[in-house]
Structure 1
Amino acid sequence: MVMRRRLFLLCVLGITLLATQSFLRVVASNGLSPLDVALIVVFLPLAAWLAQSFCTLTAGALLLAWGRLRYGNTMKVDAEDRAAGLDPSLPRVALIMPIYNEDTARVFAGVAAMRDDLAAVGVGARFDVFVISDTTDPDVWLAETVAWQAERAREPGTGLPQVFYRRRLANTRRKTGNIEDFVERWGGAYGAMVTLDADSILDGRTIWHMTRRLDAHPKTALIQAAPKLVRGKTLFARMLQFAGDVYGPLSAAGIAFWAGGEGNYWGHNAIIRLSAFADCCGLPRLPGREPLGGEILSHDFVEAALLRRAGWRIEMAWDLSGSYEEPPPTLSDFVVRDRRWCQGNLQHGRILMARRLHWVSRIHLLTGIMGYLTSPLWLVFLILAGLQAWTLSVAEPVYFRDGTPWATWPVSREDEAALLLAGMMGLLFLPKVWGLLLALADTESRTARGGAGRLVSGVLVETVLSALIAPIMMVRHSRFVVAILTGSKVDWSPQRRIAGRLTLVEAVKGNLDVLILGLAASVAVVMYAPGLGWWLVPVVAGLIGAPLLSLKLDDGSSDDAVNRWAPLGIPEDQVPPPVLARLDPHEARFAGVLAEGPEARFETVLRDPRANALHRALIAEDGSESTLSETLALRAEVTAVHLGPELLTRDERRALLERPGILEQAHDALWAGKALEKAEAAGPPPMAVAAAD
């Protein structure tokens, strides 16, 4: 590992120094101005960023090629390993899925598919599944309870892992607090947990291999499987998942190449040793005010660093497939998610110099920070380059300088500048070639994509679209960074999973700032620096074309059958693995289970004794107090009993559902009222009639 890291650092430093030296020769050919110095200062970190990305992806390509030749298929589960892994003396494993106001049918369809897959592998007995909810919408909360009951009914005699559900009354510390609550309440019963997102899907064999690797390596605390994007419907989502399919494995393998046992954690689709997590990963509250202070949003990088600081190994399972998640459906949803990630990653600047962190952990944190800082750096670089071009166009050449009797002719470095640009583009695009070559070499994968021609076409389409999106993201990330550094914090909202139909007016409104910037840049270049025109065409085209690009990329009404055979298809579109093939049938099943609607579910909890008792028992299991006022719950009870449950607002429904005592009172009153209505409808009893006669 020491030799690998030395080789990697030598590669990064060598490329960075060579590029910076070449850039220095170009800008200093006729002397250094303050503007030239500023350009060099900005260029240096950008060159280092491109160099590390190129070296990581290239190392990943080499590692993948070597792994395929030496190991082949590593996803088999034989009977001997299955029997050894099911030894009762081994600790049990919990699959935990934190959710927050998510699509209930999709959440439990994923749970059901993974349970089925573990049972199909024959290892379900070692696992339990926990759906741990932070949902605040009472209608979604009740839907989760109904779906959980329907899924739990499949357990007896099937070999499926058991499935449990818990919903917290107080959404403290968001996802971090949700997982912490699980660890404190139930963690002692399990040796490890597999962390999932609401859209995560893990193949049963992948879960099993991660579990067995953790069994075999007692000094390892975390094994991260690289998630692959699947089930995208829009052009934008398909572009993301195509890029993840062809180039994504290079990134995971490249990080594994130089990180070794000091790997990283991406927040989900990983297995974690619970004793290590409980000992090391209690996250502090950062000093100061939000957005850079307060709760740590991007907790995963920090948790990995804390585990490594305590001496545990963090592994990247670059050789395991079968780890999936769904992409954001639209560019706007992608931007919303990136805004939250940007704040979380910039918070890592407060942690970067924490005591006793491993230097590789610091590199992971710094890489996450630079993933967002590079955008404003590129923007500043383009502005400085434009100013320099304008300065050169208006400045009169000086041939005779003071004290020099001979003429000093301006030196042109256009050829060197073109060569430098070609080299920088090579750093950016050559890893795409490595990914393409690896995909072409995989016969099964190539065939599933429709052949080599379709695969090459997909790379070309993805490259063009990525180039057009890049300047939009540069502007967005720059705005995020400025907003965060000036004190603007992020709003936390559930991620949208399904795209709608976007109109041209909505697309223009959503990209108005980018469009105006693109038009202004075009006018400035034509008027003051026409020599930069051809160089800036990709940037300006992406900015001006942002509304039309969003209109096409974010359209959720496109025909899925056509898209599946488009150049951006991935093998899972045509031959989905069993765990993905099970998703749609299960989602349809849960849609049927939840067909009665939120009003009917709320009335059932109020009126049905069994549903009411179960709901109150789940609240008692949580043991915490509602954050909503008791007065609101009492008012909701009176309204529900005397005027009808359908008149309650969402907050009133939630307040009533979170107060088991008041909920029981409402149930008793409604039940008594129902009994009285039945008695009145039946008329007086016979004895009373006889007595009256």
Structure 2
Amino acid sequence: MVTHRRLFLFCVMVITLTATQSFMQVLAANGLSPLHVALIVVFVPLAAWLAQSFCTLTAGALLLASRRVRAGWSSSLDPTDRAAGLDPALARVALVMPVYNEDTARVFAGVAAMRDDLARLGVASRFDVFVISDTTDPDIWLAESEAWRIERERAGDLPAIYYRRRLDNARRKTGNIEDFVERWGGAYGAMVTLDADSILDARTIWHLTRRLDARPRTALIQAAPKLVRGETLFSRLLQFAGDVYGPLSAAGIAFWAGGEGNYWGHNAIIRLSAFARCCGLPKLPGREPLGGEILSHDFVEAALLRRFGWRVEIAWDLTGSYEEAPPTLSDFMVRDRRWCQGNLQHGRILIARRLHWVSRAHLLTGIMSYLTSPLWLLFLVLAGLQAWTLSVAEPVYFQDGTPWPTWPVSREDEAAVLVISMMGLLFLPKLWGLLLALADGRTRRARGGGVRLVAGVLVETVLSALVAPVMMIRHTRFVIAILTGSGVGWAPQRRKAEHLTLGEAIGANLDVLAIGLSATVAVLMYAPSLGWWLVPVLAGLVGAPLLSLLLDTGGSDTPLARWGLLTIPEDREPPAVLRAVDRHEARFVEALATTAEDRLATVLLDPEINARHCAVVSEIGGTSRLPTETVRRAEVTAIHLGPAFLTRDERRALLESPDSLRRAHDALWADRAEMGVDHAPGGMGPDELRPAAPAAE
């Protein structure tokens, strides 16, 4: 591993120094100016960033190619290995899924699919599933409770499923996981962390578990998630890129990170004893956004585990780890805004004591993934100023005191070679991924064949080049906003795309469009020599509204879908666990078709459901953060007017107060008794809590 790192660092340094030296020679042909110095200062970190990305992806390509030569792609799981994992002496494993105002049908469809797959593999008895909710919407909370009841009552040799919802959403996802570890972590040896859209097939869960069993000094093993189930062009673009180039990234990071790997927050198995001992996260000093709660907790948790001597590994060779992409560019940017703040907070952690230098490298990489955008923008502005300076400056052939002329030196050829070399660092890894995909006959056919695969890479390259300048502007705005003190809220991620009109697209991209038009005019007027070089950048900025409309489209009737482009193997040959998600999602959508008002009325009227809800809330403990007056008002309104008259906060307050909910239930039953309504089970329904229609005059 030391050899791997030395080789990696040597390659990064050689490429960075060579590129910097070439750039300085081009600029210094006729003397260095302050503008040249500024360009060099900005160029160095950008060159280093491209160099590390190129070396990581190239190392990953070589690792994947050598693995295929040695052993092929298959990874069998024999019955003896399965039986060994069911030894009673081995610790149990919890699958932990934190949720926050998510699509309930999709969440529990994923849970049901993974439970089915574990049962099919015959290892269900070692696993339990926890859905730990931080949902604040009372209607979604009721849907989650109902979906949990439905899934819990399903027959079969399935892992047990548990559900809890916190009353206090302190510390967001970090606090949610911490609450699980403190309450139930002692009963389990490890947890598999999931996001609301995570899907892991049983073989992958099993391999992660067996590897953790066999490696007592390993605390975390990260499985690289693959994007699937995309419907819009944007999500399909992301998942195609992840399918062709993603394995190179995971293998490349594993090449130089080794036992000092990283954690991406989900689709990983974690040894609970190590996590509980090492990963308590304090608040950062100072005010938000750079102080306060750590938003991007995963990188920090990996660094803390390594600081205390535990290994953190990346399972680059495992497949069967899935997640879903944001459906639109706007949704992607909403998520990136939160990640940007979290990653910039890591600047405060870089200087923490006793961190391994590789852990610091992971943190720095996360920071630079956002800082490179303002650096690229600054570099383009400085390059434009340099071109304008050359266009208006008059050449000086005779210097003071010199009797012979000094002719300007042209470095156009060297500059062209440098630009082409830098583009090679950016695009050659795409070629490595394409060649590896073409060399694998089975997956090549699953992607639609070699011609469609090559065409898909070309389409992805063009669209990604157009999207890149839009992301550059957005990330630059994020960085400036964060550094000037603007924090971010905690909003649930939207999983489904909504139809976007041209007016909405223009409004959402008005700033990008204005910058693009202004830059185009400035280039044409003052630096036309840069025009051809900046065509992709300017086209992406000026065309941002149309690009958003294009990327938001989806369905089987689009040209790319009809031609079979941007297809991944899971589209044509979905594994059993993904097919099960579709089947279970349809089942939950049908089962949860009742209105939120009817669900609340059922909780108020049905003795069994009322008692179960009160018991679950009481068992978790804690106190509602809503005012006591809201709880009392909700109780009175529910008794005398019915749930239709409750506001959202009142519904939540009533559901978070078991005593009030019981009193409302008792009062409603007493009223029905006075009116002679049947108290037998099923004798009352939600309709009885709706206000009576006014009598006819």
Q: Which bin holds the TM-score, normalised by the shorter protein? A: over 0.9
Q: CA deviation at 1:678?
A: 2.2
- Contact 1:130 1:163 (8 Å CA) reproduced: yes
Q: Following the alignment from structure 2 to structure 1, what is the Cα–Cα distance between the partners of residues 340 and 657?
A: 38
Residue 477 of structure 1 is matched in structure 2 by 475
Q: Which amino acid aligns with 1:213?
A: R
Q: CA deviation at 1:404?
A: 1.7
Residue 252 of structure 2 is matched in structure 1 by 254
Q: Following the alignment from structure 1 to structure 2, what is the Cα–Cα distance between the partners of residues 514 and 103?
A: 31
Q: Following the alignment from structure 1 to structure 2, what is the Cα–Cα distance between the partners of residues 535 and 559?
A: 35
- Contact 2:329 2:551 (8 Å CA) reproduced: yes
Q: Following the alignment from structure 1 to structure 2, what is the Cα–Cα distance between the partners of residues 397 and 47?
A: 31
* Paired-residue identity, %: 76
- Contact 2:638 2:646 (8 Å CA) reproduced: yes
Q: Following the alignment from structure 1 to structure 2, what is the Cα–Cα distance between the partners of residues 680 and 70?
A: 73
Q: Which amino acid aligns with 1:75?
A: S
* 399-408 or 120-129, which deviates more: 399-408
Q: Which amino acid aligns with 1:492?
A: W
Q: Which amino acid aligns with 1:261?
A: G
Q: Which amino acid aligns with 1:118?
A: L
Residue 505 of structure 1 is matched in structure 2 by 503
* 1:73–1:239 Cα change, 3 Å: same
* 1:561–1:406 Cα change, 3 Å: closer
Q: Following the alignment from structure 1 to structure 2, what is the Cα–Cα distance between the partners of residues 378 and 79?
A: 53
- Contact 1:219 1:312 (8 Å CA) reproduced: yes
Residue 443 of structure 2 is matched in structure 1 by 445
Q: CA deviation at 1:337?
A: 0.4
- Contact 1:75 1:205 (8 Å CA) reproduced: no
Residue 528 of structure 2 is matched in structure 1 by 530
Q: CA deviation at 1:77?
A: 1.7
- Contact 2:560 2:566 (8 Å CA) reproduced: no
Q: Deviations over 1:167-221 (max 9, x none)?
A: 0000000000000000000000000000000000001000000000000000000
Paired residue secondary structure (1:247): helix
Q: Following the alignment from structure 2 to structure 1, what is the Cα–Cα distance between the partners of residues 564 and 554?
A: 16
Q: CA deviation at 1:73?
A: 3.8
Residue 664 of structure 1 is matched in structure 2 by 662
Paired residue secondary structure (1:271): strand
Q: CA deviation at 1:562?
A: 6.8
Q: Following the alignment from structure 1 to structure 2, what is the Cα–Cα distance between the partners of residues 160 and 565?
A: 41
Residue 591 of structure 1 is matched in structure 2 by 589
Q: Following the alignment from structure 1 to structure 2, what is the Cα–Cα distance between the partners of residues 74 and 355?
A: 42
* 1:568–1:310 Cα change, 3 Å: same
- Contact 2:86 2:125 (8 Å CA) reproduced: yes
Q: CA deviation at 1:227?
A: 0.2
Residue 653 of structure 1 is matched in structure 2 by 651
Residue 25 of structure 1 is matched in structure 2 by 25
* 1:557–1:671 Cα change, 3 Å: farther
Q: CA deviation at 1:680?
A: 11
- Contact 2:555 2:561 (8 Å CA) reproduced: no
Q: Deviations over 1:213-250 (max 9, x none)?
A: 00000000000000000000000000000000000000
1:284 aligned to which of 274, 282, 288: 282
Q: Deviations over 1:611-658 (max 9, x none)?
A: 100000110111111001121111111111111211101100000110
Q: Following the alignment from structure 1 to structure 2, what is the Cα–Cα distance between the partners of residues 2 and 195?
A: 30
- Contact 1:75 1:206 (8 Å CA) reproduced: no
Q: Following the alignment from structure 1 to structure 2, what is the Cα–Cα distance between the partners of residues 546 and 172?
A: 38
Q: Following the alignment from structure 2 to structure 1, what is the Cα–Cα distance between the partners of residues 678 and 410?
A: 102
Q: Following the alignment from structure 2 to structure 1, what is the Cα–Cα distance between the partners of residues 71 and 197?
A: 30
Residue 81 of structure 1 is matched in structure 2 by 81
Residue 687 of structure 2 is matched in structure 1 by none
- Contact 1:233 1:560 (8 Å CA) reproduced: no
Paired residue secondary structure (1:130): strand
2:363 aligned to which of 337, 362, 365: 365
Q: Following the alignment from structure 2 to structure 1, what is the Cα–Cα distance between the partners of residues 563 and 101?
A: 33
The reply on whether 1:190 has 2:188 as its aligned counterpart is yes
* 452-461 or 70-79, which deviates more: 70-79
Q: Which amino acid aligns with 2:364?
A: L
Q: CA deviation at 1:566?
A: 2.6
Paired residue secondary structure (1:509): helix
Q: Which amino acid aligns with 1:138?
A: P
Residue 144 of structure 2 is matched in structure 1 by 144
Q: CA deviation at 1:564?
A: 7.1
* 1:15–1:438 Cα change, 3 Å: same
* 1:680–1:41 Cα change, 3 Å: closer
* 1:559–1:622 Cα change, 3 Å: farther
The reply on whether 1:354 has 2:352 as its aligned counterpart is yes
Q: Following the alignment from structure 1 to structure 2, what is the Cα–Cα distance between the partners of residues 211 and 472?
A: 41
Q: Following the alignment from structure 1 to structure 2, what is the Cα–Cα distance between the partners of residues 518 and 596?
A: 48
- In the TM superposition, what are the counterparts of 1:421-432 in structure 2 within 5 Å? 421-432=419-430
Paired residue secondary structure (1:333): helix
Q: Following the alignment from structure 1 to structure 2, what is the Cα–Cα distance between the partners of residues 21 and 548?
A: 40
Residue 14 of structure 1 is matched in structure 2 by 14
Q: Following the alignment from structure 1 to structure 2, what is the Cα–Cα distance between the partners of residues 234 and 497?
A: 11
Q: Which amino acid aligns with 2:51?
A: A
Q: Deviations over 1:21-43 (max 9, x none)?
A: 00001111000000000000000
- Contact 2:448 2:564 (8 Å CA) reproduced: no
2:202 aligned to which of 201, 204, 208: 204
Paired residue secondary structure (1:263): coil
Q: Which amino acid aligns with 2:43?
A: F
Q: Deviations over 1:43-82 (max 9, x none)?
A: 0000000000000000000001111222324532211001
Residue 273 of structure 1 is matched in structure 2 by 271
Residue 118 of structure 1 is matched in structure 2 by 118
Q: Following the alignment from structure 1 to structure 2, what is the Cα–Cα distance between the partners of residues 75 and 32?
A: 58
Paired residue secondary structure (2:676): helix
Paired residue secondary structure (1:678): coil
Paired residue secondary structure (1:28): helix
Q: Deviations over 1:661-689 (max 9, x none)?
A: 011111111111122222699xxxxxxxx
Q: CA deviation at 1:500?
A: 1.1
Paired residue secondary structure (2:162): strand
Residue 434 of structure 2 is matched in structure 1 by 436
Residue 332 of structure 2 is matched in structure 1 by 334
Paired residue secondary structure (1:497): coil
Residue 685 of structure 2 is matched in structure 1 by none
- In the TM superposition, what are the counterparts of 1:153-192 in structure 2 within 5 Å? 153-155=153-155, 158-192=156-190
- In the TM superposition, what are the counterparts of 1:450-461 in structure 2 within 5 Å? 450-461=448-459
* 187-196 or 74-83, which deviates more: 74-83
Q: Following the alignment from structure 1 to structure 2, what is the Cα–Cα distance between the partners of residues 223 and 146?
A: 33
Over aligned residues, Cα RMSD in angstroms?
1.2
Q: Which amino acid aligns with 1:51?
A: A
- In the TM superposition, what are the counterparts of 1:40-59 in structure 2 within 5 Å? 40-59=40-59
- Contact 1:232 1:327 (8 Å CA) reproduced: yes
Q: Following the alignment from structure 2 to structure 1, what is the Cα–Cα distance between the partners of residues 31 and 674?
A: 97
The reply on whether 1:620 has 2:630 as its aligned counterpart is no
What's the TM-score, normalizing by structure 1?
A: 0.97
- In the TM superposition, what are the counterparts of 1:491-502 in structure 2 within 5 Å? 491-502=489-500
Q: Which amino acid aligns with 1:568?
A: L
* 1:560–1:35 Cα change, 3 Å: closer
1:229 aligned to which of 205, 220, 227: 227
Q: Which amino acid aligns with 1:398?
A: V
Gapped regions of structure 1 (runs ≥ 5)? 682-693
Residue 106 of structure 2 is matched in structure 1 by 106
Q: Following the alignment from structure 1 to structure 2, what is the Cα–Cα distance between the partners of residues 659 and 402?
A: 88
Q: Which amino acid aligns with 1:69?
A: V
Q: Following the alignment from structure 1 to structure 2, what is the Cα–Cα distance between the partners of residues 680 and 144?
A: 29
Q: CA deviation at 1:557?
A: 5.8
